[in-house]
Structure 1
Amino acid sequence: MSLRGRLLIGVISLALIGLLVLNVAIYASLQNFLIGRVDAQMRAGVDEVASALGAPARGPIQRTAFPLGTVAELLGPDGSVVNVKGVDNGFGSATLSVTPVLPKSLPNTDLDVPASPFTVAGSDGMTQFRMTDWREGRFGGQVIVLAVPLTDIQSTLRGLLVSQSLVSIGVVAGTALLAFLIIQVGLQPLRRMGVVAGEIAAGDYSRRVEPATSKTEIGRLGLALNAMLTQIEAAFAERTASERRLRRFIADASHELRTPLTSIRGYSEMLRRGASQSPTDSDLARRRIEEESVRMSALVDDMLLIARLDQGRPLETKAVDLQAIARDAVDDARAVAPQRAITLNASEPVVVSGDDTRLRQVLGNLVRNALVHTPSKTPIEVAVSTEDSVARMSVADHGPGLPPDAAERIFEPFYRADPSRSRDSGGAGLGLSIVSAVVAAHGGRVDVKETSGGGATFEVELPLTSSEPN
């Protein structure tokens, strides 16, 4: 059963139970009140009844307005009816169509004291009487029975029952209608959420549910669902991007490996077809096979390094002085490109905790990247500094810089900002990917920005260590 149906049934059931309890209470209260009034009337009319049956008066008689059909009987010692009076226009009529059916034993009490009133059936089987009896001293202790018909009370109670039924039906119908409208309005946000959930299930992860507010229960549910959807959308986007990067990595890796393998196969064919008869061709083939093998091994080693770092494998950790690493990298670069102006700005030791070999690889790749991708006489500036418990290394060049869309992908494997460069001069495109992976494994970050005046500046930030190297 739907939530709407359960709520509607619950509200109607609650209304029915409330009305039933209320109606029963009103009916019982009115019944007790009316019967109590009849009982008081019978106790007050004892002298009037006795006088009507022929007893001498004890004083002034207070007349009681007994209802039509009231019966007063004087019973003999053997229980037979000695005298009977009925109310038509006051006591006096002896012809009665309906009389009370007396019990076999009457609960009469002391002399001139009426018994507690009780209800008996009438001779017609439909009318009920409220009766009492007492032993009357003026008749020598004979019993007087007084029975008042409850016809008026029963008529009043039947009218009350009909009124209560009609009112209850109206109240239940109105309650059901009002509850239906309120439930419809209250569940409208849930229906909208269901529609949005269906669209999300169909693949539209950008949809959000409404309402999303902290003021209502459904609104708070909307806030929680929207937060969850945001996380799901981000997770799916990350997974999609990761799958895209993986496919691109596999495609690029296959392409990069195919090139040296094709060269090795070609030179192997040259040797097989007779290059061995020409010493020059034989030397060229063997040299090229060796060079391509070395290149392929280096490429595989780089890919394995990136894979290990992505898996979170721990690196060797010890105190490393970035000033010494930068000095060695600058010296190596000056030896390779003596015509360049390569400067170092590292005034004091900067110690971090990390892998010395991998950090040297980071700075070496950044410097080599500047050497390869800038004109031969373009200056390069290397700097090492500290700021707010962070070690910072930077390599700045004054070359052509990066294209506007390259900064976001520059650290992706096999990406080349200048695709026109050959792999021999530009590398496989793994250098900056290794830089990013190594820096991330050390808990740092790497960024690229435009150099003032033109060019690119790569900045590496690493957490400082409190100890100094020995």
Structure 2
Amino acid sequence: MKRLSLRARLLLLTTALLLAGLSLISTFVSHQLERYQLDRLDSQLRSFTEIIAQVSPNGPDRSQPARPQLIDPALDLIGAPYLAYLDSNGAVAGTLRSSRVAATSFPTDDSLRSIPTDTKAVVLRSADGSGRWRAVARPATGWKGTVIAAAPLTEADATIAQLRTSSLISGTALLVVLTLVGWWALGRGLRPLRRIENTAAAIADGDLAQRVPGLAAPQTEIGHLATSLNTMLGQLEQAFADRSAAEARMRAFLSDVSHELRTPLVGIKGSTELYRMGGSGADEAMERIDREATRLTRLTEELLLLAQLDEAPEGQVDLAPMDLRTLANDARHDVRALDPSRRISLTGVDGEDAPGPAAVFGDEDRLRQVVSNLVGNAIAHTPAGTTVRVGVGTVDGEAVLEISDDGPGMTEEQAARVFDRFYRADRSRNHSAGAGTGLGLAIARSIARAHGGDLVVRTALGEGAAFRLVLRQADVGRVEVGHARDAE
């Protein structure tokens, strides 16, 4: 059975149930018809014996000769071709028989004596065993004896046999027709499953974009199955895409790490070889070794911090009540210290109004690292003299600190990758001692998310860039900080 297809198994089950149903119906109908015929015949025999028992008070009259031309129609009319009288000793005292029935087809005398006299109908076999009889016995009235009326069951048995034969033929024909129709209907009904099977095979071959087509109404079982499968396939496709993207990012990350580590190591090795050969400029070589070692140390520390922030971000911050206006005011001074020629303004968020309070629970040292990185990026990636604005306040119940500039801005592709590790918009920049490692913005965003917030960028080519630190606003009352003074 397990080797058969679902279609074949369903058809066999349906055919078996149909066969069982037809058999039960045929058996029930034939049984009911037989019961009806027997009840009708029993009623006629009882009525006949009751009449005969009363109209013959002195027993059977043997002096009257039998007249078949009168007896046969009379017996046929009442449905009892055989009438017998038994005396008190059980001997047959007289009989009336239809001449149309052969003498050997009547019941034997011994079988007549076995009939109970309580008018309960019994079945008797004919003397030659060719058929069955239905007989009823009743005590006679006025004399000691028994009146017996019997009728053959040949006609009833033939009717039942014909019914069973007709049921068998018609049932077989119906079963064949319904089996063929069921095979066709199941084929059409299971066609959506074959479509699903084909889709699954295509996906197994690597085509993850395949989807199960709309094979049925959404509220049907097939519709529910198709919807569930498409949802699962979408999740699988996204999971594979995410895995591929993660693998690509990992390969790029390892490549970038190797490149970033190789550059200072090559510098250190070259300077060491030069110093070993005793060439001139030993002090310069040692300075270069120190510079590259410092850069290597900073890169290692940044990678370690990123790993810690990825593994347990909450454990890398020590939260305490503070106000972002403190960091905003310090950011203004940092800009002036890095490039006194730049114009710097301290405003509210989006440049509107004055700086507003922005109370948060935060790690001041970590958040100061974020702001310093944003200030350094604004100075490093915009031309000299470009205006820088520091905004602070609340937006929609969230504390916001914003560093924006009027520089060249970034393309959509650059903005989408600006927080990637080791990403540089200008890949051609040399790796001087003051050059960044490409990890600053990645670390800044990880720190922001460790605080339950985020770091986002809004930019367009030729329209500058605005980096916004967004944190949950703290309900800690007024946090005492030094008020930022307006930029000169």
Identify the residue that residue 85 of structure 1 maps to in structure 2. Answer: 96
Note if 1:444 corresponds to 2:453.
yes
Aligned-residue RMSD, C-alpha: 2.8
Contact 2:458 2:465 in 1 (8 A): yes
Identify the residue that residue 73 of structure 1 maps to in structure 2. Answer: 84
Give the SS at the match of 1:366.
helix
- Residue identity matched to 1:324: T
- Residue identity matched to 1:288: R
How far did 1:221 drift? 2.1
Identity value in percent: 35
How far did 1:209 drift? 1.9
Note if 1:98 corresponds to 2:101.
no
Identify the residue that residue 42 of structure 2 maps to in structure 1. Answer: 39
Identify the residue that residue 443 of structure 2 maps to in structure 1. Answer: 434
Identify the residue that residue 286 of structure 2 maps to in structure 1. Answer: 286
Residues of 1 paired with 2:462 and 2:410: CA distance?
13
How far did 1:76 drift? 5.0
Q: 1:168 to 1:221 in 2, by over 3 A?
A: same
Identify the residue that residue 243 of structure 1 maps to in structure 2. Answer: 247
How far did 1:243 drift? 1.6
How far did 1:56 drift? 9.4
Note if 1:469 corresponds to 2:479.
yes
Is 185-194 or 362-371 further displaced after alignment?
185-194
Residues of 1 paired with 2:217 and 2:420: CA distance?
41
Contact 2:334 2:375 in 1 (8 A): no
Identify the residue that residue 362 of structure 1 maps to in structure 2. Answer: 370
Identify the residue that residue 352 of structure 1 maps to in structure 2. Answer: 360
Q: 1:214 to 1:451 in 2, by over 3 A?
A: closer
Contact 1:205 1:233 in 2 (8 A): yes
How far did 1:449 drift? 2.2
Q: 1:423 to 1:53 in 2, by over 3 A?
A: farther
Give the SS at the match of 1:192.
helix
Give the SS at the match of 2:390.
strand
Contact 2:135 2:150 in 1 (8 A): yes
Contact 1:53 1:85 in 2 (8 A): no
2:235 to 231, 234, 259: 231
Output one character per residue of 1:301-336: Cα deviation in whole Å (capped at 9) or x when no partner. 111111111223322111232111121122122112
Residues of 2 paired with 1:161 and 1:233: CA distance?
62
Q: 1:213 to 1:445 in 2, by over 3 A?
A: farther
Output one character per residue of 1:139-192: Cα deviation in whole Å (capped at 9) or x when no partner. x42344332111111111110010111122123223323333332222222222
Contact 2:212 2:226 in 1 (8 A): yes
Identify the residue that residue 483 of structure 2 maps to in structure 1. Answer: none
Contact 1:213 1:222 in 2 (8 A): no
Is 257-266 or 389-398 further displaced after alignment?
389-398
Identify the residue that residue 128 of structure 1 maps to in structure 2. Answer: 132
Residues of 2 paired with 1:231 and 1:274: CA distance?
64
Contact 1:397 1:451 in 2 (8 A): no
Note if 1:394 corresponds to 2:402.
yes
Give the SS at the match of 1:103.
helix
Note if 1:332 corresponds to 2:341.
no
Gaps of 5+ in 2: 65-70, 349-354, 481-488
Residues of 1 paired with 2:106 and 2:384: CA distance?
135
Residues of 2 paired with 1:167 and 1:241: CA distance?
68
How far did 1:75 drift? 3.9
- Residue identity matched to 1:88: S
Identify the residue that residue 309 of structure 1 maps to in structure 2. Answer: 309
Contact 1:351 1:465 in 2 (8 A): yes
Output one character per residue of 1:66-107: Cα deviation in whole Å (capped at 9) or x when no partner. 599933334455544444432136xxx8x6131213438534
Give the SS at the match of 1:377.
coil
Give the SS at the match of 1:287.
helix
TM-score (norm. length: structure 2): 0.85
Identify the residue that residue 412 of structure 1 maps to in structure 2. Answer: 420
2:261 to 251, 257, 260: 257
Q: 1:135 to 1:322 in 2, by over 3 A?
A: closer
How far did 1:199 drift? 2.0
How far did 1:42 drift? 1.9
Residues of 2 paired with 1:263 and 1:416: CA distance?
21
Matches within 5 A, 1:175-194: 175-194=178-197
Output one character per residue of 1:376-423: Cα deviation in whole Å (capped at 9) or x when no partner. 222211211211111122222222221342111111011111112112
Contact 2:105 2:129 in 1 (8 A): no
Identify the residue that residue 371 of structure 1 maps to in structure 2. Answer: 379
Contact 2:411 2:461 in 1 (8 A): no
Aligned residues: 454
Q: 1:53 to 1:3 in 2, by over 3 A?
A: farther
Residues of 1 paired with 2:141 and 2:79: CA distance?
27
TM-score (norm. length: structure 1): 0.88
Contact 1:326 1:384 in 2 (8 A): yes
Give the SS at the match of 1:15.
helix
Structure with greater contact order relative to length (CA < 8 Å, sep ≥ 6): 2
Output one character per residue of 1:96-146: Cα deviation in whole Å (capped at 9) or x when no partner. 13121343853443xxxx7322101112223111112334356x4234433
Identify the residue that residue 173 of structure 1 maps to in structure 2. Answer: 176
Q: 1:68 to 1:342 in 2, by over 3 A?
A: closer
Note if 1:421 corresponds to 2:421.
no
Is 438-447 or 352-361 further displaced after alignment?
438-447
How far did 1:444 drift? 1.7
Gaps of 5+ in 1: none
Give the SS at the match of 2:429.
coil
How far did 1:214 drift? 3.3
Q: 1:453 to 1:286 in 2, by over 3 A?
A: closer
How far did 1:289 drift? 0.3
Residues of 1 paired with 2:287 and 2:373: CA distance?
26
Residues of 2 paired with 1:285 and 1:14: CA distance?
96
- Residue identity matched to 1:294: T
Residues of 2 paired with 1:395 and 1:56: CA distance?
141
Residues of 2 paired with 1:195 and 1:157: CA distance?
54
- Residue identity matched to 2:157: Q
Q: 1:219 to 1:55 in 2, by over 3 A?
A: farther
